[in-house]
Amino acid sequence: MQQLSFAQRYDEYKQAVETTLASLIPQQLPDTLYEPMRYTLLSGGKRVRPVLAMLACDAVGGNGMDALYAGIAVEILHNFTLIHDDIMDAASVRRNRPTVHVKWNESAAILSGDGMIAIAYQTLLRSPDLTRLRELIEAMNTGIIEVCEGQALDLEFQDCATIGLTQYFEMIDKKTAKMLELAVKVGGIIGGGSGTQIEALCRYAQTAGIAFQVQDDWLDITADAAKLGKTIGGDILEGKKTYLIIKALEQRDSLPDSDRTLLDEFLQKRGLSAEYIPTMQCLFEQNGIFANARYEVERLTHEAHAALDALPDNVGRTFLHEFATMLLERTH
Amino acid sequence: MQQLSFAQRYDEYKQAVETTLASLIPQQLPDTLYEPMRYTLLSGGKRVRPVLAMLACDAVGGNGMDALYAGIAVEILHNFTLIHDDIMDAASVRRNRPTVHVKWNESAAILSGDGMIAIAYQTLLRSPDLTRLRELIEAMNTGIIEVCEGQALDLEFQDCATIGLTQYFEMIDKKTAKMLELAVKVGGIIGGGSGTQIEALCRYAQTAGIAFQVQDDWLDITADAAKLGKTIGGDILEGKKTYLIIKALEQRDSLPDSDRTLLDEFLQKRGLSAEYIPTMQCLFEQNGIFANARYEVERLTHEAHAALDALPDNVGRTFLHEFATMLLERTH
């Protein structure tokens, strides 16, 4: 039997996720509750989290398909956070389409997000083997709480002039990395992984997750708008304290006068209007901030790869290795 | 040993709930996440749901205190729905204090509510016996989903001129009664109740819960404002389709001209300003709508009592009987 390539395995798992998701959210009343769920969950996306769960399940010696529902549970949680975060960030576009609170209204966005949390737990319960149910539920609980902490920190940071890189990394660890950790954790539990193996998977997902967010910050201002599915430089418009901004602020005193003024204005006005985006791009480029971001992403990806050494040498582990590389190389 | 009275048992259980709740929500950062949780959960309230869970546990032959954490889990869910509903209803006062989205902001209200869902599942896991964990989690999932459906229906009904009593009862069954059902269900499961016993408990809670809401609709416009902890007639101001309004609309064609005009104006303007509240009180009083509401509450309470016949004749069952009577007789 010929071994599947990483890309083939990814496609196979992603396809299983799409098919299952389509049948999962009931086409039932009330419309204002279930339509936003279907709209959000069936709008594509890379399905990073469920595929990660399935690969983690393989990597500890399980059968990846057994982690399908657990992985989808995490995907549903991830999408709930997108809907609620979009309200809080007043974001109007996601994946090239209006956000839920814009297309429907804020109440529909709050409610459908709430309902998705319960549907995520419900989906987890469809897993074929629930002997470690308590561990699975605990992982879900902690994952949700930490992602809420991360979003709360993110919002608090918007009102706070002096955020350092340590605080930034703590925030994105919770806001972004924890959902990836949750994915590999439920996958690892369902695959029968040992405590040590699950810890290794979590370290892998944590470092890959932080790399993922730094990459996101970088792509927000360097990517192709159509590919990204939203406005380029959105973080600048919203006044977000991204890796790039925090790194630039760290070097503030050694920057040229014009760059210092620009950064101060960004802080004072909590964001800059669209015409300043090219100037900010130049600032990041000329002061090596883009290079710093790339370096950081590569360093973290290397750490993620290293964490995998604690796992048995099998094709699942190899695919997790390739997965982290894929995240590093993505352009949107 | 002298038998405790219902009031003593209620106080004992309520006190255990207060003490445990106070230690449950961490006093930790981020403040904007955890402070609104503590503010909401430690603001008193009747603790109807956890006490119900504990009495249900007693009624099926268990030890009520074993259902403490499961009951508190339901109380936390109930409070999450209050925070999110207050955003959607633009309510500014609850329990005599500003609502969370007013005291903090909308993002803090969304996030703390989200986090409370996960903390509810976490609290459930502290229960002393989790042999029926899967059933417990399923009950939580369904409870949350149905309460979201109920709130979605409630919002949809605000935009819909012709709501009948059947639709109204479906909505409050989900929005209000399901959380009481969830309380007795988790209590019954933890107490080791059989399927038949748990069904009886659910029928009891469903009818008592619907009675509770009709009573709430009635109290909203007849109670003492200080006791109620919010503005009298708030439902009229917000244009809510309560039992009273729907019942009045059912009789619209046989009402005096002035009352018909008032009701039509209520529908057109989606609510009336404060000076119309006494006139609405007269309308409900003179056309027997208040009497209808009282009758309905009594009929449903009687049904709730009857559902208890399927349970063993013990003091737990007697207290559930008295509990429903207490809800019927409350003045706020």
Which CATH architecture does the domain made up of B6-329 adopt?
Orthogonal Bundle (1.10)
Nearest CB partner across the interface for A148, out of B33, B144, B151: B33
Q: Do A32 and B106 touch (CB under 8 A)?
A: no
* Average pLDDT over chain B, rounded to an integer: 94
Give the burial string for A13-36 (b: 16+ CB within 10 Å, else e): bbebbeebbeebbeeeebebbbbb
Torsions phi, psi for B28 (to 5 deg): -135, 170
Q: Which residues of B62-82 are buried (b: 16+ CB within 10 A; e: fewer)?
A: bebebbbbbbbbbbbbbbbbb
A163 near B CB under 8 A: no
β-partners of residue B94 are B97
Task: Give the whole-angstrom CA distance, residue A69 versus residue A125.
Answer: 8
pLDDT of amino acid B307: 98
Contact A84 B130 (CB under 8 A): no
Q: Which residues of chain B neighbour A115 with C-beta distances below 8 Å?
A: 144-145, 148-149
Determine whether the interchain pair B118/A140 forms a contact, defined as Cβ–Cβ distance below 8 Å.
yes
CA A21 to mean position of chain CA atoms:
19
- B144 in reach of chain A (CB within 8 A): yes
Query: How many Å separate Cα A170 from the centre of its chain?
Result: 15
Phi, psi of A62 (to 5 degrees): -90, -170
Q: Which of B27, B28, B33 is the mutation pick for testing A, counting most A CBs within 10 A?
A: B33
d(CA B17, CA A187) in angstroms, rounded, equals 36
Looking at residue A228, its pLDDT comes to: 66
Spatial distance between the Cα atoms of B169 and B150, rounded to a whole number of angstroms:
10
Q: Between B111, B133, B144, which is nearest A133 by CB?
A: B133
pLDDT per residue as tens digits for the range A25-67: 878 889 999 999 999 999 988 999 999 999 999 999 999 999 9
- Angle among Cα A38, A39, A40 to the nearest 5 degrees reads 90
B132 to chain A: which residues are within 8 Å by CB? none
> Which residues have CB under 8 Å from B166's CB, separation 6+?
none
Size of interface A-B (CB pairs under 8 A): 132
Residues B133-153, mean pLDDT to the nearest whole number: 97
Please name the member of A108, A110, A151 whose beta carbon is closest to the beta carbon of B84.
Answer: A110
Q: Which of B117, B129, B138 to mutate to test the interface with A (most CBs of A within 10 A)?
A: B117
Angle between helices B243-250 and B289-307 (to 10 degrees): 120
- Which pLDDT does position B139 carry in this prediction? 98
A309 touches chain B (CB under 8 A): no
Confidence at A1, pLDDT banded by 50, 70, 90: very low
ipTM computed for the complex:
0.94
Interface check B152 vs A, CB under 8 A? yes
Cα A319 from Cα A316, distance rounded (Å): 5
CA A323 to each of CA A3, A43, A51, A271, A304: distance values in angstroms, whole numbers, following the listed order: 17, 22, 9, 34, 10
* Strand ranges in A206-251 using DSSP code E only, listed in sequence order: none
pLDDT band at B2 (very low <50, low <70, confident <90, very high): low
From A230-239, A321-330, B69-78, B149-158, the region with the lowest mean pLDDT: A230-239
d(CA A270, CA A279): 16
The answer to whether the beta carbons of residues A12 and A47 sit under 8 Å apart is no
- Read off the pLDDT of residues B3-45 as tens digits, 9 standing for 90 and up: 899 999 999 999 999 999 998 887 888 999 999 999 999 998 8
**Rounded distance, CA B212 to CA B225, Å?**
18
Q: pLDDT digits over A163-181, tens only?
A: 899 999 999 999 999 999 9
Question: DSSP assignment, residue A192?
Answer: T
Say how far apart CA B187 and CA B193 lie, in whole Å: 9
Alpha-carbon span A112 to A36, nearest angstrom: 6
Residue among B31, B107, B148 whose CB faces A115 most closely:
B148
B108 at A interface, C-beta within 8 A: yes
Alpha-carbon distances of A129 from A18, A38, A117, A330, B197, rounded to whole Å: 22, 27, 21, 34, 29
The residue among B80, B114, B157 with the most chain A CBs within 10 A of its CB, best to mutate, is B114
Quick one: residue A160, left, alpha or beta (phi over 0 = left, psi -120 to 50 = alpha)? beta
User: Tell me, what's the pLDDT at A231?
Assistant: 74
If pLDDT is split at 50, 70 and 90, which confidence band does B163 have? confident
Chain A CB within 8 Å of residue B118 CB: yes
Q: Inter-axis angle of helices B68-88 and B178-190, to 10 degrees? A: 170
CB of B159 closer than 8 Å to CB of B120:
no
CA dist B7 and B322 (Å) reads 9
The whole-number pLDDT of residue B294 equals 94
Q: Return the residue matching tokens 């101001």.
A: B237
Q: Are A137 and B133 in contact (CB < 8 Å)?
A: yes
List CB contacts (< 8 A) between B25 and chain A.
none
CB A58 within 8 A of CB A191: yes
- Quick one: tokens of B88? 């959607």
User: If you write DSSP's letter for every residue of A126-171 in order, what string do you get?
Assistant: TSS--TTHHHHHHHHHHHHHHHHHHHHHHHHHHT-S---HHHHHHH
Q: Do B137 and A138 touch (CB under 8 A)?
A: no
Length of chain B as a residue count: 332
- Whether A224 has a pLDDT exceeding 80, the answer reads no
Dump pLDDT digits (tens) for A72-118. 999 999 999 999 999 998 889 888 899 999 999 999 999 999 999 99
At residue B228, the pLDDT reads 66
For residue B284, pLDDT beyond 60: yes
Q: B134: which chain A residues are within 8 Å (Cβ-Cβ)?
A: 125, 130, 133
Q: Are residues A33 and B141, on separate chains, in Cβ contact within 8 Å?
A: no
pLDDT of the residue at B99? 96
Average pLDDT over residues A193-220: 96
With CB atoms and an 8 Å threshold, state whether A141 touches B149.
no
Q: Is B98 helix (H, G, I), strand (E, B) or coil?
A: strand
Half-sphere exposure of B67 (CA within 13 A, CB side): 34
Residue B102: count other Cβ atoms within 10 Å of its Cβ. 17
- Give the global pTM: 0.94
- Four-residue CA torsion sign, B262, B268, B274, B280: positive
